[in-house]
Structure 1
Amino acid sequence: MDKNYPDLETVIALSDLYQLSLDILLKEDQNVVKGIEKTMNKKMWGTIFYSITGVSILLCLIINFALNQNLTWSLIVLLSLISIDALVYLFGKRNLWSPIVLVGGSSFIIIAFSGLLDRVLLVSNYINQSFFLSTALPISLIWLSLLWIVTVVQLRMRWSIFYSVSLFFLLGIIGGFLTNLLVSSEPLWFSVLISAIPCLFLGILFSFLGNYSAKSREL
């Protein structure tokens, strides 16, 4: 007969109510126990991470206002940490959402971050002219396009994640060239070479890791 267990919160509540360990409560079903413990650990570390970023934001706001009687650089920290929290939350749900949703959500967060950062820098007088439409948005779209290509290939090929990372870095050679071209790096050939070498190295490295992973599964 198939086993059916209550949800995680109910199991933990029963464990606390009757002062029973999860092993006893679930009749020593180790797979279920390990699964629940893993979920509990993820929730605990998630809470710690969000708490640290929250406290960091609060401290930065307080220090910035105390020193400058205004909020300037702390807004950059605020925006950065909130964006990181959003990405962490998004990928924390990767088992519930499809890769398309994850990449789409990440794309939105990255573009929104670039636009808001542009506004914050302007308001804080760190820059005198907006860079979002001229630089940040095109560069973001270049690299997000590469990410979407890799995602679509991954869904079609269903190969090891190592191969997808390898493909991303190899495509990154093109991305680096377009980025340097966009920002008018001088000299262009040197900037392209500097960005291409690590991308090529990492692409080859992850390709080897993909081969090693595939051979290990066959054994």
Structure 2
Amino acid sequence: RLLRERRGLSLEAIGRVLPELLPDLVGRPAGGLFRADVWREVLEAGKDDSLATRGRLVEVGTTLFSRGGYADVTVDDVCKATDIAKGSFYRYFASKEELFLAVAAAVARQVAKSFSGDAAPGIGPEEAVGVLAAAMSLHLAVVLDLTSLAAQRRPGYATALRSLTSTVGDAVRSTLDSRVVDHEPGTPDEVVARAVFEAVRRVVIADHSAPTGLLDDAARLA
């Protein structure tokens, strides 16, 4: 635990140094207490735990960023919500920005899955806009923040935005009426952009306290 938390060593690295560090308590050669078979089990369990912890951070990050927006969420907020030490957070993500990009990818998959489940096969573009706007509603803040950060030309965000629109666009493409052809009115990319704008419009109408500047953010994507 000391090697992992204070020295920042991976389980693989610890496995390499343990044979030299373990004392010879029973007259065996240095490292005689080291059990390679047991350590392999530790490594496998550690991989599972790491994947679970990373997934939990993305899950909680998705909730926090969707609710509070990128600017208002801190690493401390994420650590508190997941009940992990701040030092442990940085074993999985180098920064809040890196977590947000992982959240954006997760949101893209969730929106695409939700749209595919709710949209009837062969629907037209107008219906698709409404269904997709509803699918985006829970994570609208993430989509808008990603759009805004990409517009600021921050490294990685434009690529993440293209990936999000591509993932969601593929879901739209597989559902739309087959007569809709790319580069014509009502294409998947246009449906995605219009759905963002429609989702924001619904928020502004439903909540008069919502900043009208949200429509400007949505217009950037459109």
TM-score normalised by structure 2 residue count = 0.28
Higher relative contact order (CA 8 A, sep 6+): 2
Richer in helix (by share): 1
TM-score normalised by structure 1 residue count = 0.28
